[in-house]
Amino acid sequence: MRFVEIWDYTAHIESFYLKNGVATSFKTKEPYKYKHAISSECWLQGPIYPWIFDDGSYFINLEEYDGVPPYDDSVDMVLYANERVGLMDEYYEKYSVDSIRKQFPNAVIVGLIKEVAHNFNSGDASSDIPRRQVRPERPKNRIRFFNDCDHVLMPTIPNGNCSKIEYIKKLQSDINKEITYIPGPVNTEYVFKNYFNGFKQNSIFAYLPLQHQRRGLTYQFASYIGNKYNLPVYAKNLDGTQPFDYLSSHDFVNLWSPHNYHFNLDPLESQPGQQCKQVASVGSINIGGVNDSHKFLYPETATNDLEVLEDAFVSYHENEEKRLQVMQNAIDKINQLCGFEIIKGQFVDRFKND
C-alpha cells in the first residue's frame, strides 16, 4: 500500500521518500535525517509513519510546496496533520481536505491529532509573522478540517489517559466522527538491535525533558533512591552553558540506555509518552510517570506516588528474577502494541478496509 504523511508546516524537516528503508531527500536525492533523528533509517519522533509502509511511501512538508503537494493518484492513504498555517482563514481552502483529495484522488484521508490543549494554537503574541501568532480561528477550523476527513487519529492507546483529557473529550463532542486511537509506532527492531545491552549497569538514569513542568520530582526522587540504596545516578548535563539539545539523538540514547532503571515522573496525563516506549525497547525499567505508555508498559510504576514507587523499586532491586521479568514484559508489550507490522495492520483494518 502506498502511503503519504503530510504536515501543513514544519520549519525543521524536509520532505523525503523511503528508498531501501532509508529517508531520502526529494531535494538532494541523498540519505536524509533531521536534527532529532537517530539516523536516516530510524526516527524516534516526527513523521515516522512512512516507515510502517516501507519503500514508495513518503513525507510532504507543505511549506515546501506552497500548500499544494504534487499530484499522485497511486497513493492509497494520506495521514494529514493540519494544525498551523492550514487552519488560518486566509490559507484554509488551499490546505483543505478537498484540496488534498484533488492531489491524491484515490486516497483515504486520515486527520492526525498531533498537538493538544495548550500546545495547539500556541504562539508569540508579539510576533509579526502570522503563522507564529495565536489565531482565534484555528480551533473552529480544526473542527471543520476533521469533519471533512474520512477518519481522525489520535496516536495513543484506547481508553488511556490521553483519551480522557478535557480537550479530547470536547473535540470528540464537536466533530462528526469517532476518534480512532492507535498507539504511535516505534521502530522496535532497530532500537533493540542498536541499543539493547544484555549487561545492564545497576544504576539509575534521571530523565529530564525540556519542559520543566514535565520533570516533576524526577531528579529529587532518583537522588533519594540512589543515596538510600547506594546506586549511582546519572542524568544529562544541563548546566545552562549549551543548548538543551546539544547531544545528538544517537548520543542521548547511548547515554540513558545502559542503565537498569529509568526514572521519569512526568505528571502530565495529556502525553502519549514516547520516551517510555524507547525505554521498553532497550530493556530498561521505567519508574514513575502517568503518560499513557507508562500505564501499558510498566503498570506497577505508572504513578507518582513515591511510596508506591519505592516499594516497587525495592522489589526489583532485591529480586533479579522479577527485574528481568519486568524488562521482558515491557519488551514483549511494546512489540505487541507499537511494532511497525502491528500498527500497519491496524491502519489497514481501521482506515482502508472500513
The whole-number pLDDT of residue 14 equals 97
**pLDDT reported for residue 193:** 94
Question: Is residue 160 a contact partner of residue 296, using CB atoms and an 8 Å limit?
Answer: yes
Q: What SS3 string covers 1-31? A: CCEEEEECCCCCCCCEEEECCEEEECCCCCE
97: confidence class by pLDDT, cuts 50, 70, 90: very high
Is pLDDT above 90 for 171?
A: yes
Q: Which amino acid is at 59?
A: F
Q: Mutual orientation of helices 340-347 and 320-338 as an angle, nearest 10°? A: 40
> From CA 249, how far away is CA 246, in angstroms rounded?
9
Q: Residue range 14-20: average pLDDT?
A: 97
Q: How confident is the model at residue 124 (pLDDT cuts 50, 70, 90)?
A: confident
Contact present, 272 and 186 (Cβ < 8 Å): no
Please give the model's pTM, rounded to 2 decimal places: 0.93
- Establish how many alpha carbons lie within 13 A of residue 121's alpha carbon, considering only the half-sphere containing its beta carbon: 13
Query: 232 and 260 in contact (C-beta within 8 Å)?
Result: no
Q: What is the DSSP letter of 351?
A: I
What is the pLDDT, as a whole number, of residue 354? 59
Residue ranges covered by each domain of the chain = 3-185+339-352, 188-337
What contacts 238, CB < 8 A, 6 or more positions away? 208, 244
Query: Contact, 148 vs 97, CB < 8 A?
Result: yes
- Strand order of the β-sheet with 201-206 is 233-235, 201-206, 259-263, 285-287
Give CA–CA dist 197/257, Å, rounded.
8
Residue 353's pLDDT is 62
For residue range 183-233, what is the model confidence (pLDDT) as tens digits?
Answer: 999 999 999 999 997 789 999 999 999 888 999 999 999 999 999 999 999
Q: What is the pLDDT of residue 93?
A: 97
How far apart are the C-alpha atoms of 268 and 279, rounded to whole Å? Answer: 18
How far, in Å, CA of 4 to CA of 181, rounded? 19
Query: Do the beta carbons of residue 162 and residue 269 sit within 8 Å?
Result: yes
Q: Are 185 and 48 in contact (CB under 8 A)?
A: yes
Q: What is the mean pLDDT of the chain?
A: 94
pLDDT band at 255 (very low <50, low <70, confident <90, very high): very high
Rounded CA gap, 79 and 84, in Å? 16
Q: What is the architecture, at CATH level 2, of domain 188-337?
A: 3-Layer(aba) Sandwich (3.40)
Cell of 118: 495548550
Confidence check: pLDDT of 125 > 80: no
Q: Give mean pLDDT, residues 161-179.
A: 94
Distance CA 74, CA 59 (A): 15
Question: What mean pLDDT do residues 251-260 have?
Answer: 96
Q: Mean per-residue pLDDT for 50-62?
A: 95
Write the CB contacts of 60 (distance below 8 Å, at least 6 apart in sequence): 4, 5, 6, 7, 15, 69
Per-residue model confidence (pLDDT) at position 183: 93
DSSP class of 71: P
Strands in 20-157 per DSSP E: 22-25, 58-61, 77-81, 108-112, 151-154
Q: What is the pLDDT of residue 318?
A: 97
Task: Tell me the residue type at 19.
Answer: K
